[in-house]
Amino acid sequence: MEPVRTCIGCRSRAPRSSLLRVVLQDSRVVADATAVRPGRGAWLHPTHECFRLAERKRAFGRALRRPGELDTSDVENRLNG
C-alpha cells in the first residue's frame, strides 16, 4: 500500500506518487522531485490551482514552519514547465 499525504493547497489526501514534495532551501521553496532532499517537506498537487490556493492561504510558511514571506518562484517555474 502506497503512503498517503495531504496537499497543502486543497487539503485533500492523495497517494504520495501523485503529489510534488517541496522543501525549504535558503528561504526559497524548491521542488523536490525525487523526495529525498533533507529537511521538512510539504506536499502539493502539481497544479496551478493548488499552488495558488497554497500561496493565498500562506500554507507554505505554515507547513514548512518558517514565518514570513517565502520565495516560491522555483515551484511556480516547475509547474509552468
pLDDT tens, 49-73?
999 999 999 999 999 999 888 999 9
Supply the pTM of this predicted model. Answer: 0.91
Looking at residue 38, what is its pLDDT?
A: 94
DSSP alpha helices (H): ranges in 8-69? 48-56, 59-63
Residue bearing the bigger pLDDT, 81 or 71: 71
Cα dist from 50 to 6, 18, 36, 56, 71, whole Å: 12, 13, 22, 10, 16
CA distance 26 to 10: 26
Q: How crowded is residue 57: how many other Cβ atoms within 10 Å of its Cβ? A: 15
Range of the domain at 14: 4-80
Integer Cα distance of 70 and 5 in angstroms: 22
Domain count for the chain:
1
User: What is the CATH classification number for the domain harbouring 9?
Assistant: 3.30.1230.10
Q: What is the pLDDT of residues 26-42, one digit of tens each?
A: 889 999 989 999 999 99
